Amino acid sequence: AGKEGARGASVQWREIAQEAGAVCIDNGSDFRLDPAIPLIVSEVNPEAVTSKSRFIASPNCSTIQLVMVLHPLHQAARIRRVVVSTYQSVSGWGVRAYEELLNQISQALKSLDKVSFDPTVFSRSMAFNCLPHIDKFTPDGYTKEEMKLVLETQKIMGDENIKISPTAVRVPVLVGHGESINIETENKLSASQAQEVLSATPGILLMDELNKDNPRHDPLERTYPASLDIGKPEYQDLVLVGRIREDSTLKNGLNL
């Protein structure tokens, strides 16, 4: 259905495909919040798909990596509140955004004051820039992208009591979304316990241990994931997690 979250294709073709006997998996956003349609991340809520399911919705890209992390931690310690900031690459918009960034970078290397941009892709120049603006704004000041993180996460995890405060930022990276997540839980979960939980979770690769080969000779430097890691074949289809630490301002809090 075009770029992630695009609307319309499933509305037009859903019934035709189902009448032909197809099982439909929709990458668009038309039916994600429809209570009659399962919204699925296979590692998180596969039980929501039944033998009668002929149409399945796929969540927003940033929602997927968020719930992959939240779900096992919620099972371990019951999550009360989440503050999440995303750092989303231009590939989430589509191929035009990818090409637009490359074009802008070549111009910006000559002069930051003379960078042309297509306002139908980004509202401002994206080269060497971060934009706290993904999708349209809502009346309360959030963007639609941010509200997807709230509503889709609650639906997938089956718990509307989880409070989520989101901020979505577009960053000048070609491929690879990142997130900074602050979690408050009902029960105490230490950083080491969270590491154990996540390292045992299918689909997650924990990159959070002492870096013995670091060139800066810092004995406390740790390994951590970065955007360029996403393109490596060995990390395909994995959510990379690191920088797990306890929130010093909360009784039961984690940052990762």
pLDDT tens sequence across 20-54:
989 999 998 999 999 999 999 999 999 999 988 98
Domain boundaries, the chain: 1-58, 60-89+145-255
Residue-wise pLDDT tens for the chain (256 aa)? 345 556 688 888 888 988 898 999 999 899 999 999 999 999 999 999 998 898 999 999 999 999 999 999 999 999 999 999 999 999 999 999 999 999 999 999 999 998 999 999 999 999 999 999 999 999 999 999 999 999 999 999 999 999 999 999 999 999 999 999 999 999 999 999 999 999 999 999 999 999 989 889 899 999 999 999 998 999 999 999 999 999 999 999 999 9
Q: Residue 13: phi, psi to the nearest 5? A: -110, -10
Spatial contact of 156 and 41, defined as CB atoms under 8 Å apart = yes
Could you list the beta-strand ranges (E) of 102-226: 163-170, 178-185, 204-206
Whether 130 is catalytic is no
Q: Residue 68: phi, psi to the nearest 5? A: -60, -35
Could you list the beta-strand ranges (E) of the chain: 24-26, 55-57, 79-88, 163-170, 178-185, 204-206, 239-241, 245-246, 253-255
Tell me which fold the domain 60-89+145-255 belongs to.
Dihydrodipicolinate Reductase; domain 2 (3.30.360)
Whether 24 is catalytic is no
Cβ within 8 Å of residue 8, ≥6 positions away: 1, 28, 30
State both tokens at 79: 């999550």
Could you say which of 71, 130, 177, 217 is catalytic? 177
Spatial contact of 144 and 136, defined as CB atoms under 8 Å apart = yes
pTM for the model stands at 0.93
How would you classify the pairing of strands 204-206 and 239-241? Answer: parallel
Instruction: Give the bridge partners for 169, in sequence order.
Output: 87
CATH of range 1-58; options 3.40.350.10, 1.10.1740.10, 3.40.50.12780, 3.40.50.720: 3.40.50.720
Could you say which of 24, 61, 71, 217 is catalytic? 61
Spatial contact of 207 and 242, defined as CB atoms under 8 Å apart = yes
